Structure 1
């Protein structure tokens, strides 16, 4: 049985080996030796030609011979039902191979899926327009060469800029094209004129449709790369802008810190604590970066408080404490004319980071989730650093005692979910405290 199968399917076996070679090249930096050998064996058996061959031999043929006749349909109807069955089976068959390919390749599922479906498209394209086993192989190679020429200038960019490529639309576009080509592939079961080794008007029409579809797929992926490059330029520009804005904020915050008498690393620690806490609550990585930078401005309003109060070594009088409390409103006022997402978040934090979960904070007595999530996070970060830092009017608390105090204030001074996250990530916070110690 093996020899007849090899004689009939040998071109597709060679294509499977091409798939293995291309995939092995992609993972060659990650795997060597026996790991590479095992990976190559797995890649061979999950390659689209091998999977298709296995399905055709053990499932499709069995259905055609044993199951379809049981329905006692007429010839045309049975062929139509069989072609629909093949389409559904093809779509379901490749779900597991794509998932395995994602694991072997070590790439995100959407990236691995897109690459796999592209190989799948090439295989089905060659099958549709070929008229013999040998022609299938040559058509596949020609298609591969044309795609290589089309994407010649894009391959290096794609391999080095995965994060900038919008893979999802390409994946779904390729998947839609595959369904189209699969329908064309199954059309010869319904229209006998298409199942001919001699070219005719029907086969030429079908080949033209498939070739145009293949070129549209290449054009779409090319367009996606062009758009991705443009987006990358915009992102790099925005990052440069944000870096400049961050430098300004850091300098401004350092001036504020110097006046307030707080320790040199205070804003750095609060910023890092804030980022750690935010990662467990805020899902968007950009928002996490924004709050990390914006938190540096939490005490900017202290620039407006008289030096004799800020620098007083002893306990403040009730009147002096009321004056200090106005720094939240000054912070809101100082940042009220600033534009940009970071500055908007910074203004909110400066205004609300002394509000309490139970509503007994200042300046507005906000309660619960009426307090911005940004301010809820910074409040815990700021108080923990204040407790564990030396001030002119107090010695630093032991970190474990400060941790207990934060937990004790859960649902009172602090948001319960922020405190829970503080507990979960306490070891990370302690690493930062030690790293940026005064």
Structure 2
């Protein structure tokens, strides 16, 4: 009971911690669940855990370790400080795990939030000269923290994944160790040192205040850097969207001239997206290659109409001219310097290369061929086989599928063919959905 009464000011921030935590999980729990969780959150709050840890550590230290350090004040201080820091770190492990489970956000986020409350409690304990002033100091520290981040509160809430929480958490953890050391130093000064206590206390307070100010500045810097990165990403998205629109328009013109339909563009793009999602590790690359694939035949704009629109088979000479469209595509797209334009250029230039090295225009083989071109090559040929052209009727889907599989390791990359075969039902669904 004495323990409860002695530390009563620290239980008020514990109640605030419970309220703050439930603000982060609105609508997630029922009323009865919230009652139970309120009790759990109260007992895992930083002040309550600290009170229990202080009581147990003092008893444990006095019973088991104090006798080994009586002879030397310096030895006593060193052992006591190391013990308290290690004990406090261990004491907060289970509360941190429980808090992360309750909030349901990434561990780095919840741990940073939790440590913020730990540091506020430590700050108030060190700075306040009496129990009565603890709440005043705690409130002042909390107000200053809100002022520092006032303009970023909405941004932080809406961009949790953009912030570098691990960096802030590392800083907070180091500050936690420093403040624990300072708290132990105050204990040492009050009970061991007999002279100049006021000067030493002011010195400790100054260290803590300056360190907390640096922590707040570091946290604010992290938000600022995140904002700048977000601005760059938004700009790149807008730039990407404008280039995507240009690519779609350019591809439509190209297909119109080649006698193929706009649905061919859509189908190849959709096939490419399905294959790329199984092969590429980056979702951004999947979206990029899906859009860039629309430009695979842009070089046909440079081929004479009488050859492109010829209803019958091409002569060997005419075929050699048509083959130049891949080189033309490379030239037409070489002036753009964005990632999507570079991918589109690789596809346009290499999508007629063969895995066995017998393709054109460069005679590349194996993985010398861009993975983007490897993917589009399969998507393009399958759609060409199953589509009607002025010089041929469409192949049955099963026959076209078999042909793609036969060309595994010859015309096409083995892994792309394997994915094609595995995802064939999705591809066929797209073909039927976007028929000419």
Superposition TM-score tier, normalisation by shorter sequence: 0.7 to 0.9
User: Relative to structure 1, is the Cα distance of residues 355 and 42 closer, same or farther in structure 2, using a 3 angstrom cutoff?
Assistant: farther
In structure 2, how many angstroms separate the alpha carbons of the residues matched to 1:433 and 1:37?
Answer: 55
Query: Over residues 152-193 of structure 1, what are the superposed CA-to-partner deviations in whole Å (9 max), with x where a residue is unaligned?
Result: 222122212334434343333323322322222232355446
Please identify the structure whose Cα radius of gyration is greater.
2
What corresponds to 1:204 in structure 2? Answer: 202
- TM-score when scaled to structure 1? 0.86
- Post-superposition shift, 1:427? 5.8
In structure 1, how many angstroms separate the alpha carbons of the residues matched to 2:424 and 2:53?
Answer: 53
Query: Over residues 8-50 of structure 1, what are the superposed CA-to-partner deviations in whole Å (9 max), with x where a residue is unaligned?
Result: 3433333222112112111105444445445545433443333
Whether 2:126 is the aligned partner of 1:149: answer no
What corresponds to 2:25 in structure 1? Answer: 27
Query: Over residues 239-298 of structure 1, what are the superposed CA-to-partner deviations in whole Å (9 max), with x where a residue is unaligned?
Result: 222211111111001111112222322223333333343344434444334323322211
User: Relative to structure 1, is the Cα distance of residues 89 and 427 closer, same or farther in structure 2, using a 3 angstrom cutoff?
Assistant: farther
Note if contact 2:190-2:197 (Cα within 8 Å) is conserved in structure 1: no
Structure 1 range deviating more: 204-213 or 124-133:
124-133
What corresponds to 2:215 in structure 1? Answer: 217
In structure 2, how many angstroms separate the alpha carbons of the residues matched to 1:95 and 1:161?
Answer: 26
* Number of aligned positions between the proteins: 433
User: Relative to structure 1, is the Cα distance of residues 154 and 412 closer, same or farther in structure 2, using a 3 angstrom cutoff?
Assistant: same
In structure 2, how many angstroms separate the alpha carbons of the residues matched to 1:256 and 1:433?
Answer: 21
Q: 1:241 aligns with which of 239, 242, 245?
A: 239
SS where residue 357 of structure 1 aligns? coil
Note if contact 2:257-2:305 (Cα within 8 Å) is conserved in structure 1: yes
Note if contact 1:258-1:264 (Cα within 8 Å) is conserved in structure 2: yes
Q: 2:265 aligns with which of 264, 267, 276?
A: 267
What corresponds to 1:124 in structure 2? Answer: 122
- TM-score when scaled to structure 2? 0.86
User: Relative to structure 1, is the Cα distance of residues 167 and 289 closer, same or farther in structure 2, using a 3 angstrom cutoff?
Assistant: farther
RMSD: 3.2
User: Relative to structure 1, is the Cα distance of residues 406 and 224 closer, same or farther in structure 2, using a 3 angstrom cutoff?
Assistant: same
Whether 2:46 is the aligned partner of 1:65: answer no
Structure 1 range deviating more: 284-293 or 339-348:
284-293
Q: 1:375 aligns with which of 369, 373, 376?
A: 373
Note if contact 1:249-1:296 (Cα within 8 Å) is conserved in structure 2: yes
Q: 1:111 aligns with which of 78, 87, 109?
A: 109
In structure 1, how many angstroms separate the alpha carbons of the residues matched to 2:255 and 2:210?
Answer: 65
Gaps of at least 5 residues in structure 2 are none
In structure 2, how many angstroms separate the alpha carbons of the residues matched to 1:163 and 1:116?
Answer: 17
Note if contact 2:11-2:48 (Cα within 8 Å) is conserved in structure 1: yes
Note if contact 2:112-2:172 (Cα within 8 Å) is conserved in structure 1: yes
In structure 2, how many angstroms separate the alpha carbons of the residues matched to 1:90 and 1:429?
Answer: 57
The 5 A counterparts of 1:41-80 are 41-58=39-56, 60-61=57-58, 63-69=60-66, 74-76=71-73, 77-80=75-78
What corresponds to 1:309 in structure 2? Answer: 307
